[in-house]
Amino acid sequence: MCWYCGTPVAAPDPIGRSSRCPDCGKDLRCCRMCRFFAPGARLDCREPSAEPVPDKERSNFCDWFSLDAKFRGQTSGDAASRGAASSARSSFDALFGE
């Protein structure tokens, strides 16, 4: 499933560098989809031998890429967090006006 919108994606294993989500168009073979991705860790990666990747949401050539199990269908990507933020903003606007 896509890390950004949560859309189920039938991607080959291993995921190719040019693979994109059919709904939102985001790259699928990126740091955000990797099991080593850890925001706050050195280079945002738990793999100590990994090269620096400047944009974690774009496809890259990292040799250590391995699809994180949470993207195999158990979660809804960032869509749930964006929905919660949108709901909170709507409540705020209703309370205080736009």
Note the pLDDT tens digit of each residue in 11-31: 777 788 888 999 999 999 999
Report how many domains make up the chain: 1
Residues 6+ apart with CB under 8 A from 8: 1, 73
Residue among 29, 28, 64 nearest 43 (CA) = 64
3 state SS of 15: coil
- Tell me how far apart the terminal alpha carbons of the chain are, to the nearest angstrom: 35
pLDDT of residue 82: 52
Structural domain span for residue 40: 1-98
Most confident of 4-18, 25-39, 63-77: 25-39
pLDDT band at 75 (very low <50, low <70, confident <90, very high): very low
pLDDT of residue 95: 76
